[in-house]
Amino acid sequence: MYNNAGNLVFGPVEALGRGSNLPTNGFDHTQWIKKDADVPTGEYATSVIAPGPSIFSYGPYNRVWLHPALSGDAKIAEEAGRNGILIHGGELTTDKSLPWYPLRPTFGCIRLENSNQKALIEAIEHAGGGTGMITINNLLKIYEVNAPWNKI
């Protein structure tokens, strides 16, 4: 994350935007247009919201809500009914055999390790908080393109 002056204020950190293989997405997490699948690429408006109801699933810290979608696959998915995409923390997996270890797939959000989620929220607050814009590319690197925070 870069501030408006172009200074690095957070990251880079590991993040996982992999969805789950559930009936709601045809047992295929790669179908980004469907609920619970991988995070669609594109631009999103963002805002910081309260922690989730489950510390195991969302971690204990505030979350970043990616809404509304502004362009790219994100906009296509939202127009098809997909919503509720967040950046949040959550408990790590202990199974080192999994290809995404130590992060766990979500139901269509981006997961950070809890301490990284805390640091992200603190960096956003230190940069002025509020809302911003994020671009997610195919590598699931996150870039903010508008004030108050600039890149993740």
pLDDT per position in the chain (152 positions), as tens?
Answer: 776 677 777 888 889 999 998 888 888 999 999 999 999 999 888 899 999 999 999 999 999 999 999 999 999 999 999 999 999 999 999 998 888 889 999 999 999 999 999 999 998 888 877 677 777 876 544 434 343 443 44
C-alpha to C-alpha distance for 38 and 105, rounded to whole angstroms: 9
Q: Which two tokens stand for residue 113?
A: 């390790």
- Given a contact cutoff of 8 angstroms between Cβ atoms, the answer to whether 144 and 130 are in contact is no
- pLDDT for res 138: 63
Q: Please tell me the number of Cα atoms within 13 Å of 13 on its side-chain side.
A: 25
- pLDDT for res 126: 84
C-alpha to C-alpha distance for 129 and 48, rounded to whole angstroms: 8
- pLDDT for res 134: 78
Which long-range contacts (C-beta less than 8 Å, at least 24 apart) are formed by 19-26? 19/105, 19/106, 19/107, 19/108, 20/105, 20/106, 20/107, 20/108, 22/107
